[in-house]
Structure 1
Amino acid sequence: MTAPLRVVQVGAGGMGRAWLATVAADPDVELVGVVDLDLDAARAGAELAGDPTIPVDRDLTALIAETGAEAVLDITVPVAHHPVTLEALRAGLPVLGEKPAAQTVAEALALAAAAEATGKLFMVSQSRRYNDQLVAFRQHVRGLGAIGGLDTRFAKAPHFGGFREEMDDVLLLDMAIHAFDSARYVLERDPVSVYCESWNPSWSWYRGDAAAAAVFTFEDDVRYVYDGSWCAPGAETSWNGDWRASGAAGTALWDGDHDPWSDLDGTPGAPDPAPSVGTEIAGSLASFVRAVRTGEVPDGEVHGNVMSLTMVDAAIASARSGRRIVIDEVLEQAHATAIEHEHDPAIRERLTAWGSVRSALATGSPDTAALG
């Protein structure tokens, strides 16, 4: 199929404008509608996308029917991710949504079950996975033999204004999820437990905690250590953080902005190059289009993405309780909450059919590959 994928975008705020520009630059995508509660913002978004005559509305379902859209981009604030994505899936359309998958793990599990029930793709744009340097770093890590530990140091001082500065646990929920997701990608393992402390420095301009330190235990007893701050002016790291992996054969390093490298006991590592994955949201969008057109399951499909959000919830729970948190306990509690709050019989049926939540997320559903 060579015709551009017809999409409606929900959300025309700050991040929405970045997506609108990306959509406009992609010849494989055609923007056919913009949804926003603020119609002036929606109209401005259409103009930014290069066509002020693009239809706008506050009602997603109505605009889908009007435009004949084939897919939905959910670029709303996190609290709106669950209702917007669910509305699109129920309308029979695949969805590409901004991270996190939902405001809570329970909502994310419900959306995974909704994707199964509708047989439509829900892909989370974990955009920082779309970085060829990150892919190369994983290649270097693979050459280290048995892995003992992975560390990320993150230090930035952005003044966003808006909803981020009013969020609870702003660093862990809105930014650390990128590093947590990348750690899963690099280690090719999933987390088992976490101990975390978070705090807000006296000079912070955020309401919620803007600094955190966490130690995750991953499968095979590998440790992942995250040390981050969003109010650390001076000598800032890359937005991707500064990474170090330690293995039996040596060490791999990546500063987040340049090509990674590895030292195998004095010998430079030279892994095989990997194919390009594209760049951030442009790469994510291209992957989504390819998945919708071919039926392949993309990186970021909701079943594979939920564990990254679970790492965030577990870290927050640890910081608030002062104790080590077991990941499976978070998953099982979120699963029970999702079942309790779910009113859609088809989604509830899928949720209750799951045995182990970890196993359900690992295997996903064959139905989600039927994306046409």
Structure 2
Amino acid sequence: MPDKIKAVLVGCGGISRAWLGALSQMPEVEVVGLVDVVEEAAHNRAEEFNLGSAFIGSNLESVLAATAPDVVFNCTIPEAHVEVTLEALSHGCHVLTEKPLADTLQGARRLVEAAASSGKMLAVMQNYRYNRGVRALKGFLDEGVIGSPHTVNVDFYIGAHFGGFRDHMRHVLLVDMAIHIFDMARFITGADPVSVYCKEWNPEGSWYDHGASAVAVFELSGGLVFNFRGSWCAEGLNTSWSGQWRVIGPKGSVSWDGEDGFRAQVVKATGGFLSELEDVQVPPYEGDKVGGHAGLIRDFVQAVLSGGQVDTVASDNIRSLAMVFAAVDSAERRLPVDITI
């Protein structure tokens, strides 16, 4: 097993700081190249992170040819994800890409097929899976304390004043944020999407041009119903960035505030109008799959070194992405939509 890998990072915008900051703490990774269409941005990142020996360029193919990396980190804008990832896979590189996997479902299918053909790992930055709370919730549900979940409700309300391109995006909440929540719902339940009905609107007072609020009702495999309510222009009483969760099963319920707060109750006795309930504890997660971006980058690097894979591989993540595109389709058509991969 090799003890070090060479990496090229593509896309030196704001998000690249989180990636390069994490990589700077991993001696097993050598960043040998930085690429950006604005070459000055790549030079700035090289200076910021003391990468003076990194090959700098604006053309990915040229940088790959000059550096022969093992992995490519794709931090480009969503519209460039397919082109950049295909180029990296064609050069025999493993790829970890920022979400979304692709800007269309057709593009995502191409990437899944290309990764399978290349024999290389293609994974997506679903950093919300590397949250200690969601890991604890999944562990609690896996133990069967409340039985097999049949209902998952999530509220996401944040008044996010980003400015810039998000203010003008179509379907801004669904496309730019909701995939995190949708992916977490799949993660904690182990269920896959079947269908969705979504209503999207832009409330009075919204500083976005389009679609800052949405509600969506998903049917998941096994008859599970997942309800999402959210807004990016909700002033006051904001939820956490992971949302507020309630999961219901035949034996009880559990709530999670998206941070460190849990409450769970199970049925102690039946026979009356209301069942007798008792509080139960949600055990803390003691594993190492935490740390957001840094945690997933670390796991990806270790998977490359060991010949394994991470659980956000494209062949799985495309199911979460399909939920986003189906919700958008439903909102535009004002009809329920079956979800196909």
Amino acid at match of 1:22: A
Amino acid at match of 2:20: L
The one of 304, 312, 332 equivalent to 1:292 is 304
Q: State the partner residue of 2:168.
A: 166
Indicate yes or no: 2:149 matched with 1:153. no
Task: Provide the rounded CA distance (Å) in 2 between the counterparts of 1:103 and 1:261.
Answer: 37
Question: Does the 8 Å contact 1:35/1:56 carry over to 2?
Answer: yes
Q: State the partner residue of 2:273.
A: none
Q: State the partner residue of 2:226.
A: 224
Amino acid at match of 2:297: L
Question: Does the 8 Å contact 1:135/1:274 carry over to 2?
Answer: no
Question: Does the 8 Å contact 1:140/1:262 carry over to 2?
Answer: no
Q: State the partner residue of 2:326.
A: 314
Q: State the partner residue of 1:245.
A: 247
What is the Cα deviation at residue 300 of structure 1?
Answer: 0.7
CA offsets 1:302-323 (integer angstroms, 9 cap, x no match): 0010000000011001101111
Question: Does the 8 Å contact 1:130/1:280 carry over to 2?
Answer: yes
Size of the aligned set, in residue pairs, is 329
Which runs of 5 or more residues in structure 1 are unaligned? Answer: 332-372
Question: Whose helix fraction is larger, Structure 1's or Structure 2's?
Answer: 1
Question: Does the 8 Å contact 1:17/1:48 carry over to 2?
Answer: no
What is the Cα deviation at residue 274 of structure 1?
Answer: 5.3
The one of 276, 279, 293 equivalent to 1:267 is 279
Alpha-carbon RMSD across the aligned residues, in angstroms, is 1.5
Task: Provide the rounded CA distance (Å) in 1 between the counterparts of 2:157 and 2:132.
Answer: 22
Question: Where do 1:1-372 residues align within 5 Å?
Answer: 1=1, 3-142=3-142, 143-264=145-266, 265-270=277-282, 273=285, 275-328=287-340, 331=341
Task: Provide the rounded CA distance (Å) in 1 between the counterparts of 2:105 and 2:9.
Answer: 24
CA offsets 1:229-275 (integer angstroms, 9 cap, x no match): 11112221111111110111111111111153422231314558552
Range with greater deviation from structure 2 (201-210 or 109-118): 201-210
Question: Does the 8 Å contact 1:94/1:292 carry over to 2?
Answer: yes
Task: Provide the rounded CA distance (Å) in 2 between the counterparts of 1:261 and 1:288.
Answer: 33
Q: Among the aligned pairs, what percent are the same residue?
A: 40
Task: Provide the rounded CA distance (Å) in 2 between the counterparts of 1:48 and 1:4.
Answer: 22
Amino acid at match of 1:255: D
Going from structure 1 to structure 2, the CA distance change for 1:139 and 1:259 (only over 3 Å counts) comes to farther
Which runs of 5 or more residues in structure 2 are unaligned? Answer: 267-276
Task: Provide the rounded CA distance (Å) in 2 between the counterparts of 1:196 and 1:181.
Answer: 17
Question: Does the 8 Å contact 2:158/2:233 carry over to 1?
Answer: yes
Range with greater deviation from structure 2 (257-266 or 4-13): 257-266
Amino acid at match of 2:3: A
Task: Provide the rounded CA distance (Å) in 2 between the counterparts of 1:183 and 1:277.
Answer: 17
Q: TM-score, normalised by structure 2?
A: 0.92
